[in-house]
Chain A
Amino acid sequence: MAINWFKYSAPTTFYGLAGKLIPWFGISAAILFAVGLYIGFFVAPTDYQQGEFYRIIFIHVPSSIISMFLYLIMAGYAAMGLIFNTRLSSMMATAIAPTGALFAFISLWTGALWGKPMWGAWWVWDARLTSELILLFLYLGYIALHASIDDPRRADRASALLAIVGSVNVPIIYFSVQWWNTLHQGSTIKFSGTSMHVAMQQAMFITLVACWLYAIAVILARVRSIILERERHTKWITELPEVKN
């Protein structure tokens, strides 16, 4: 049986598929958030050094991971839009940016809230924190650049270049704690194993999956609005039941 992989790469078909998927991702995100945060706040033990303060990791670590991954995915979609001239890829890139910016902001914000009681400073200009701040600025720059050009196809191309060039920053964020002396600690989750108690790990893993599902749900919802906006002159949009009425 031949599967037509490209069937859903057209906005026409993807619009309907995304609409069907959103509730599933949304509901499972809500359930996993509840479970993950319950384990994180009530089951996971107190840390031997940081006491209760360490519990910020159940928000902070997933946000940081997703802010970095989303950037690479956004740059990938932007590159695909540039290379293949596919409409949906550029729309996906545009839809990802605000969610990525949100997670980068949450990561910086929760890090600051934790940094004051633990390190003794809200903010330090070390390599990890600075490069994550640059990531937030890249997201904001991408959004601003895209919004400043009226023709959507030209906006796609210009902002795609920014997204692709900015992807160089992501490995810098990840390896910053190895390459330089930083105040931020090294990675807890490594390929060689994890230096963390099991219940803490489970809670962090579940909230990570929950954050992913949430991110997918809102990105799909956003890409649907973008499709509606950009394709509003086409026949299939005017025939959609939700548009007709």
Chain B
Amino acid sequence: MKARQKRFVFIAVGVAAVGLAVALVLNALDENVSLYFTPTQVFNDEAPHGRSFRIGGLVEEGSVKREADGLTVNFAITDTHKRIPVVYKGILPDLFKEGKGVVAQGSVGPDGVMKADEVLAKHDENYMPPEAADALMKAGVANAAAASAVGAASAPAAASAVK
């Protein structure tokens, strides 16, 4: 073998070894790399106890209620299988809407309600003008469109629910 072939093999083997090592580490970290837990995972007792963590999913339709002080908001995060009620006092991001993706950080009390100190909006990968979105909703494809519109939030949720 020529010297340059040796170097090539050395580099190829090196990259493969590093890649394998990283894959093993990431696999071991698994859930710790994920930004949030789904409500199903919380019900399955996979979320940490006694410390703050994040729950992600969709804001349940019809669940958003504002209290009289104008700042406190009650809503529920759902992954279409399970739901977790959340109470949050503060300013919500612009994209916060019923049926849209959301990630809330806080701790779940014994009553099963999460007291959130931070609420982030998670939006989807679809970009279109408002008229197009309206037209999609009016047409029979409303279901498909809605499904793909919330896909960004619900796909990982559904995937881990299946797991």
**Pairwise interchain contact A197-B129, C-beta atoms closer than 8 A:** yes
CB contacts under 8 Å to B, within A122-146, are: 124-127
Chain-A contact segment, one of B43-51, B63-71, B92-100: B92-100
**Pairwise interchain contact B34-A180, C-beta atoms closer than 8 A:** yes
B38 within 8 A of A: yes
A residues less than 8 Å from B11 (CB atoms): 79, 82-83, 164
A12 within 8 A of B: no
Known contacts A83-B8, A127-B34, A164-B15; is A118 also within 8 Å of B121 by CB? yes
Measured as residues with beta carbon below 8 angstroms from the partner, the interface class of chain A is: 35 or more
**Pairwise interchain contact B92-A120, C-beta atoms closer than 8 A:** yes
| B interface, CB within 8 angstroms of A | 4, 7-8, 11, 14-15, 18-19, 22, 26, 33-38, 56, 91-96, 100, 103, 118-134, 148, 151-152, 155-157, 160
**Pairwise interchain contact A165-B14, C-beta atoms closer than 8 A:** yes
A residues less than 8 Å from B157 (CB atoms): 181
Q: Which of B26, B96, B118 contacts A172 (CB 8 A)?
A: B26
A25 within 8 A of B: no
**Pairwise interchain contact A183-B127, C-beta atoms closer than 8 A:** no
Name the residue in A120, A181, A195 with the highest tally of chain B Cβ atoms < 10 Å from its Cβ: A181
**Pairwise interchain contact A117-B94, C-beta atoms closer than 8 A:** yes
Q: Which of A51, A127, A165, A188 contacts B125 (CB 8 A)?
A: A188
| A interface, CB within 8 angstroms of B | 45-51, 54, 57, 79, 82-85, 117-121, 124-127, 164-165, 167-168, 172, 179-183, 185-188, 195-197, 200
Ordered by A's residue number, 15 sampled pairs between the chains whose C-beta atoms are within 8 Å are A50-B127, A83-B4, A117-B94, A118-B94, A118-B95, A119-B121, A120-B119, A121-B120, A179-B33, A181-B36, A186-B125, A187-B125, A188-B126, A195-B126, A195-B148
A residues less than 8 Å from B22 (CB atoms): 168, 172
Q: Which of B38, B94, B129 contacts A181 (CB 8 A)?
A: B38
Measured between alpha carbons, how far is A46 from B127 in the docked complex, in Å?
Answer: 9
**Pairwise interchain contact B132-A50, C-beta atoms closer than 8 A:** no
**Pairwise interchain contact A119-B95, C-beta atoms closer than 8 A:** yes
Known contacts A121-B118, A164-B14, A197-B132; is A185 also within 8 Å of B35 by CB? no
A177 to chain B minimum Cβ distance, whole angstroms, is 9
